[in-house]
A and B are shown apart, each in its own frame.
Chain A
């Protein structure tokens, strides 16, 4: 067989090579930007969202979530493509806090932020303030949402500006207690709209 030599010029129009790996294992899927939004929803199969067995792990990132009212960020899950949200979920919540005036130092379990088989909004951050420069940022890992065998574990870490001007570092873990596939996630504040901010969804290979 004759040898054909390739150079950059010859391969410049290539857009895919089937067996190449190592091009990065974090894949951007969807970005939703809040604008006085009551909810932000990621529904598998809608608006280019993928939330199925394509990935075993999904990552949501929250960037400068700014509430209309002093409130917490939370989510609800759906097993029917977003027709209804609210699957029983159990969580634990640990908070670390420190005030801008060296006050309000706290580390511990926060019973006001956890949930026990709750079908309402599941809190994943502490209180977010509404001052113009206040917001919350962080991330949430959702593992294997398409499983029909296991509950759906998730781990969230968010940092926010409390309305009373202290730093709030929230560590929340839990599971969506269903063996049905979860195929949609909806985010909202516990009170009022998401005034501004971005939520992005990624798949992790």
Chain B
């Protein structure tokens, strides 16, 4: 049989290959904010998957920029109704160091930003700045949102520019204390819009 040689020009138009894997961390949806009051990831809408397809989901936050100064980036979970009001219990702490080198501390924030059987949104940071070069980046793990047996654990880490010109590394852990499935997640600012930034949703395969 004659040998047929291919080059990049001939293969560049190919857009799919049947049996090739795409890795085991799959990008599901990327949403870029443009003065949005909320950003929603709703299972079954706009190609979003948030069900038993994956046992673990990861949200990545890239350069989230608020319209309003001194506000918080927050998250809510939907557990059966149209409202993002799943009951949550959480803890929070922060490592802070300012540009003036006058404050360097590790602070327990559970009594402030932590929730105790509360249906409100969970702050994922505190007092972020809205200067042109200021933003937040980080990630949040959500475990087994489709379970109807267990509570739904989540853990977030955000790094951001605080309004007081400081670097803050903010950690939140908690669970939606419900056995109903979580089928949607909403992000918003406590005040004003999400001026800019990207939120990506990934699923991690377990087979």
Q: B-contacting residues of A (Cβ < 8 Å)?
A: 1, 3-8, 11-17, 20, 23-28, 31, 61, 63-64, 66, 96-102, 105-108, 132-139, 157, 159-161, 166-169, 198, 200, 202
Tell me if B's interface is mostly helix, strand, loop or mixed: loop
B15 touches A98 (CB 8 A): no
Contacts of A26 in B (CB 8 A): 23-25, 204
Set A14, A25, A100: member contacting B18, Cβ < 8 A: A14
Which of A16, A20, A99, A167 is most buried by chain B, counting CB atoms within 10 A of its CB? A167
By beta carbon, the residue of chain B nearest A29 is: B24
Known contacts A26-B23, A28-B206, A137-B143; decide if A106 and B151 are in contact (CB<8 Å).
no
Q: List 8 A-B contacts (CB under 8 A).
A: A12-B17, A17-B20, A26-B24, A64-B144, A98-B92, A99-B116, A134-B150, A161-B175
User: Which range contains the number of B residues in contact with the other chain?
Assistant: 35 or more
A137 touches B111 (CB 8 A): no
B174 touches A11 (CB 8 A): no
Known contacts A98-B116, A138-B155, A161-B151; decide if A15 and B20 are in contact (CB<8 Å).
yes
In the complex, B102 has a CB within 8 A of chain A: no
A8 touches B114 (CB 8 A): no
Nearest chain A CB to B120 CB, angstrom units:
13
In the complex, B100 has a CB within 8 A of chain A: no
B116 touches A102 (CB 8 A): yes
Contacts of B160 in A (CB 8 A): none
A169 touches B171 (CB 8 A): yes
B153 touches A61 (CB 8 A): no
By beta carbon, the residue of chain B nearest A24 is: B23
